[in-house]
Amino acid sequence: MKACVVGYGAMGKIISEMLGDDLFLNVALECENKNFDNVKDKIDVIIDFSSPFNLDMICDYVSKTKTPVVFATTGYSKEQLDKINELSKIAPVLRSANFSLGVIVLNRLVKEVTPLLEGYDIEIIEAHHNKKVDAPSGTAKMLLKSAMDATGYDAKMGRNGYCPREKNEIGVSAVRGGTIVGEHEVMYCGNDEVITLKHSAQSKKIFATGAIKAARWLKDQKPGFYDMEDVLFGPNK
């Protein structure tokens, strides 16, 4: 597999190092925020860990080459998400809010457990480092969507002042501090018992591992829109 890594921030560097290891057969090409002019050889897959700013550049290249793309960037606008969906009609495209294999399993558990706990109050708590600028996290939103789809409840973002808990709501809270890599917890609070599903990330390498696994899987797929559950559980998940 010959992968092109777009973006050379913390995650881009980790992925490039992991792709360069003897365990992998290829080297990552570094494409800084400009264009693909320096890419002359055929690329098997693109892994994007950069910013929404680079989307048009990627779309232009893929529209010509039909190269599979793993989108690991967050913060897209609705218009940009529409562009990604359109791109999936001509090339294999995979996008996920989180590439940790453990988080994908956690989200799967939320989908399966939530319908079984009818009447339980649901709270989602996420924690990240003090440099993270958005809240709640994309992963918290993913978990929230899974819980909302299973219950039909509404989201309650944070709590402040006089705000009695409504029966059909899912609370979401964000914590920012220190160097926390990422923690996500889904609490099911019933009468006299609490069930907690939780995932804690210890390093950013878990996201690189998942993205590389996704890339190796995606390069052999037909055009379409995929997510990490397709990678772990199959397209008929």
* Active-site annotation holds for 184: no
User: Residue 17 corresponds to which tokens in the numbers above?
Assistant: 């190092």
Catalytic residue, chosen from 128, 184, 199, 219, is 128
- Rounded to whole angstroms, the Cα distance separating 97 from 190 reads 29
Task: Establish whether 213 is a catalytic residue.
Answer: no
Nearest 5°: phi and psi at 232? -85, -35
| Tokens representing residue 231 in the block | 């990678």
Beta carbons within 10 angstroms of residue 237's beta carbon: 11
| E-state strands within 79-223 | 92-95, 121-128, 154-157, 169-176, 182-190, 193-201
Which is the catalytic residue, given 111, 132, 204, 205? 132
Helices (H), 97-234: 101-113, 138-151, 205-218, 228-233
Residues marked as catalytic: 128, 132
